[in-house]
Structure 1
């Protein structure tokens, strides 16, 4: 029987972001890192940078920003509950995200309630508005 494979002690940051389910693909993780949306211990890095347990990551995805401490490394992408065990979000980060979510709930962006194509009635109103 072959010996059990030990977990790695370091891995590429783009692969970890994919395995921890912050991005759907490694190429999207690479684009985020190249765009400066991911910082390792406060500095911008390249996608091939080695990541270790205990490192701190600042991750910006859209309007949401996370600050997480790496708790584990995994070569494979696992289900979400297992992926959440790979990191621990800092207290300040979770409070900030909760405050941002509450602000979005109380003051939604204009037009966020619009879905799909306009109805006939809405189209007539738009046409009437544009004629003046």
Structure 2
């Protein structure tokens, strides 16, 4: 494979690698996540240019969930999904079952805005 890093360049930038293995849609989104402190490499927050190598643990926090992957191969160019999956091992725990989340009450369509009395009842249910 021409996109796999050679032994003399066995590291790549964390923003480039996370984009290349399709953990982010764009490289700028990967760099922004790094700058925002949402990407950690081996437990430490990562800047976009921080190098990653095989064996490093990368944690990505996005959309309220944390993705935990271990680098198996470093690549610098974006590749297809089947090849990208071979470059990391996913250790992300499964999401909790939906039954654990409380169902939010839903108003009927076309019912309009809640009245003052209904709003107070809703606030009481929410614990405000």
Same fold (TM over 0.5): yes
Would you say how many aligned residue pairs link Structure 1 and Structure 2? 112
Unpaired segments of 5 or more residues in structure 1? Answer: none
Of Structure 1 and Structure 2, the greater helix share is in 1
Q: Pairwise mapping of residues 92-131 of structure 1 onto structure 2 (< 5 A)?
A: 93=92, 96=93, 98=94, 100-102=95-97, 105-106=98-99, 107=101, 110=104, 122-123=109-110, 125-127=111-113, 129-130=114-115
Cα deviation for residue 110 of structure 1 reads 3.0
- Distance of aligned partners of 1:21 and 1:5 in 2 relative to their CA distance in 1, 3 Å threshold: closer
RMSD, aligned CA: 2.5
- Distance of aligned partners of 1:109 and 1:50 in 2 relative to their CA distance in 1, 3 Å threshold: farther
Q: What is the SS of the residue equivalent to 1:48? A: coil
1:87 aligns with 2:65: no
Specify which structure has the bigger relative contact order, considering alpha-carbon pairs within 8 angstroms and separated by 6 or more residues. 2
TM (norm. structure 1) is 0.72
TM (norm. structure 2) is 0.74
Q: What is the SS of the residue equivalent to 2:89? A: strand
Q: What is the SS of the residue equivalent to 2:104? A: coil
Q: Pairwise mapping of residues 7-18 of structure 1 onto structure 2 (< 5 A)?
A: 7=5, 8-18=9-19
Which of structure 1's runs of 4+ aligned residues deviate more than 6 A?
none
Q: Pairwise mapping of residues 28-107 of structure 1 onto structure 2 (< 5 A)?
A: 28-90=29-91, 93=92, 96=93, 98=94, 100-102=95-97, 105-106=98-99, 107=101
Query: Residues 40-76 of structure 1, C-alpha deviation per residue, up to 9 Å, x if partnerless?
Result: 1100121011111111111112122122110011122
